[in-house]
């Protein structure tokens, strides 16, 4: 048994652990124990990974484990991590951990809710540890389908519509991606006649440029749908707004990162030549995502919609940076995935907590919450400041790196787009400060709100964990950045 498989095994055991649970206390116990173990595993992984690297282990993937699964098609169960996947695993485990606390009082059908949630987490963890395209696809789809029921059953608003839209659009993305994967597979032999699904071997063998030209856009768009690339982002606002708190957290925080990670690890790094040729098309689209998402957020009145559009903008920035194809911007992209994941999870957690009290998410119906629930309000301000890129928080580091990296391109096209994307920072400030000013300060809009209470202990725990992570990365970004950069080495020398 190898170390990384534990990330899949623990959620699996949790699923079985939920089965005999009789009441909500037992369910919570299983969920807390399991997610704490996962968080512990992720932290241990970071420590071991860094000490291995420090000891001079320069292998591309560490902790690899490989077992043949379907010999005729050369499908393996093959796991391994580099710096980027370690960061993603850390992010996922933090969000699963906090997500459990954010759904502490989930009613009704508590057991089913947690089982679907953990199944989703299983898919996410499996995706990040895999280095075999088949298992990646398998885990990717495992992570998608629980969303339907999580939103459809436990969501709010026009949940059925949102759930269906989200599922079908993401499955559409995965259909394109699957064709891309077949294309990669049947061109992966490098002249030897032995096809492979293994990422490292494919990268070594190289794919003929004619095939790349066809399958790069398919793969990139396939993952781009999940990364909320314009014009395939429309599932995101509806889906996030209708989902229950923990699901929004997990979805915006982790699942959308699957898209960015897939674009990076499969589309761009396996088909670099085509990426170079066609980057401009997708740069235009992601540039639109960045600005359009930000503008969209300005005009929304529902807190969750504001944050969902802000996610479109920020995730667009991830894809935008990946397409810059240089080291600084790509490091920034991975940092942005981490930073946005934590930040948006914090936002959704806070919105869920506020909504749970005020029963409204309309910013026109709230005001003066700072006096009523100081803890939640302060946390909201912190999240907002992190989101608009205040130095000291993770958002600043990642956006800085992205824009510096983008500006390294000396041609007109890249520079113009960098400047356009930069403008989103200003728009972000507009919609964040507008919300903060409207709902936290000013007069109390509703007399009933005065009787509301502040956060309970489990809510505080979730919020504090996320704030510590955001601030920690903001203060000391270099260990994450180094981990990411050392893994990029092989990929960006084009």
Nearer to other proteins, 157 or 172 (CB): 172
State how far the Cα of 494 lies from the Cα of 487, in Å rounded to an integer.
15
Those residues with Cβ within 8 angstroms of residue 42's Cβ, 6 or more apart along the chain or in another chain: 7, 89, 90, 92, 93, 94
Determine phi and psi for 81, rounding to 5 degrees: -130, 145
Distance of closest approach, residue 293 Cβ to other proteins, in angstroms: 25
Nearer to other proteins, 32 or 178 (CB): 178
User: From residue 171 to residue 200, what is the string marking binding to other proteins with x (rule CB under 8 A)?
Assistant: xx--xx-xx--xx-xx--------------
User: Which structure tokens are listed for 227?
Assistant: 């990364």
User: Helix 394-407 crosses helix 374-387 at what angle (to 10 degrees)?
Assistant: 10
User: From residue 72 to residue 91, what is the string marking binding to other proteins with x (rule CB under 8 A)?
Assistant: xx-x----------------
Spell 41-61 as b/e; 16+ CB within 10 A means b: bbeebbeebeeebeeeeeebb
Determine phi and psi for 403, rounding to 5 degrees: -70, -35
Residue 354: in which H helix or E strand, if any? helix 327-358
User: Which structure tokens are listed for 6?
Assistant: 């534990």
- Site residues for other proteins, window 30-59 (CB under 8 A)? none
**Contact between 138 and other proteins per CB under 8 A:** yes
- Site residues for other proteins, window 341-370 (CB under 8 A)? none
Nearer to other proteins, 9 or 43 (CB): 9
**Binding segment toward other proteins, per CB under 8 A, in 14-22, 96-104, 170-178, 293-301:** 170-178
Distance of closest approach, residue 198 Cβ to other proteins, in angstroms: 16
**Binding segment toward other proteins, per CB under 8 A, in 20-28, 66-74, 245-253, 473-481:** 66-74
Nearer to other proteins, 117 or 382 (CB): 117
State how far the Cα of 225 lies from the Cα of 285, in Å rounded to an integer.
12
Distance of closest approach, residue 97 Cβ to other proteins, in angstroms: 24
> Quick check: 285 and 230 in contact, CB under 8 A?
yes
Spell 422-440 as b/e; 16+ CB within 10 A means b: bebbebbbebbeebbebbb
Distance of closest approach, residue 193 Cβ to other proteins, in angstroms: 12
DSSP secondary structure letters along 3-33: TTTHHHHHHHHHHHHHTT--SHHHHHHHHHH
**Contact between 134 and other proteins per CB under 8 A:** yes
Distance of closest approach, residue 251 Cβ to other proteins, in angstroms: 18
- Site residues for other proteins, window 140-169 (CB under 8 A)? 141-142, 145, 148-149, 152-153, 160, 164, 167-168
Given 3, 65, 69, 104, the residue binding other proteins (CB under 8 A): 69
β partners of residue 130: 79
> How many residues of this chain bind other proteins (CB under 8 A)?
32
Determine phi and psi for 233, rounding to 5 degrees: -95, -5
Interface residues with other proteins (CB under 8 A) are 69-73, 75, 134, 137-139, 141-142, 145, 148-149, 152-153, 160, 164, 167-168, 171-172, 175-176, 178-179, 182-183, 185-186, 214
């Amino acid at each position: 048994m190898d170390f990384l498989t534990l990330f899949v095994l623990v959620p699996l055991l949790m699923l079985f652990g939920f089965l005999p649970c009789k009441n909500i206390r037992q369910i919570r116990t299983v969920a807390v124990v399991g997610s704490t173990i996962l968080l512990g595993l992720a932290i241990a992984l970071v420590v071991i990974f860094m000490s291995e690297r420090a000891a001079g282990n320069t292998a591309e993937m560490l902790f690899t484990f490989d077992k043949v699964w379907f010999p005729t098609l050369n499908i393996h169960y093959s796991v391994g991590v580099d710096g980027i996947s370690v960061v993603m695993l850390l992010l996922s485990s933090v969000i699963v951990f906090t997500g459990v606390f954010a759904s502490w009082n989930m009613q009704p059908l508590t057991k089913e809710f947690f089982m679907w949630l953990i199944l989703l987490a299983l898919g996410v963890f499996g995706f990040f540890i895999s280095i075999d395209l088949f298992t990646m696809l398998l885990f990717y789809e495992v992570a998608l389908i629980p969303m339907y029921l999580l939103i459809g059953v436990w969501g709010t608003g026009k949940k059925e519509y949102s759930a269906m839209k989200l599922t079908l659009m993401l499955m559409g993305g995965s259909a394109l991606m699957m064709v891309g994967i077949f294309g990669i597979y049947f061109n992966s032999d490098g002249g030897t006649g032995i096809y492979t699904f293994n990422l490292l071997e494919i990268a070594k063998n190289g794919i003929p440029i004619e095939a790349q030209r066809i399958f790069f856009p398919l793969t990139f768009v396939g993952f781009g749908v999940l990364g909320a690339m314009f014009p395939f982002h429309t599932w995101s606002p509806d889906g996030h707004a209708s989902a229950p708190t923990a699901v929004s957290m997990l979805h915006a925080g982790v699942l959308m990162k699957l898209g960015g990670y897939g674009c990076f690890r499969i589309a761009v790094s396996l088909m670099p030549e085509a990426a170079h040729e066609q980057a401009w098309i997708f740069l235009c689209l992601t540039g639109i995502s960045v600005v359009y998402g930000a503008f969209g957020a300005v005009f929304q009145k529902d807190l969750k919609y504001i944050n969902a559009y802000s996610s479109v903008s920020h995730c667009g920035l991830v894809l935008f940076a990946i397409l810059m194809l240089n080291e600084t911007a790509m490091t920034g992209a991975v940092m942005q995935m981490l930073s946005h994941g934590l930040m948006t999870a914090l936002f959704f957690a806070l919105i869920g907590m506020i909504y749970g009290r005020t029963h409204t998410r309309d910013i026109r119906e709230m005001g003066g919450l700072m006096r009523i629930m100081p803890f939640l309000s302060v946390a909201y301000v912190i999240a907002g400041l992190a989101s608009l890129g205040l130095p000291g928080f993770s958002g600043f580091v990642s956006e800085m790196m992205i824009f510096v990296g983008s500006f390294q391109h000396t041609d007109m096209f890249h520079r113009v787009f960098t400047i356009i994307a930069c403008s989103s920072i200003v728009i972000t400030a507009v919609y964040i400060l507008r919300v903060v000013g409207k709902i936290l300060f000013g007069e109390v809009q509703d007399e009933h709100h005065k009787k509301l209470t502040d956060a309970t202990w489990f809510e505080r725990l979730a919020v504090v964990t996320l704030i510590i992570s955001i601030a920690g990365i903001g203060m000391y970004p270099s260990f994450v950045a180094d981990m990411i950069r050392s893994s990029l080495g092989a990929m960006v020398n084009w």
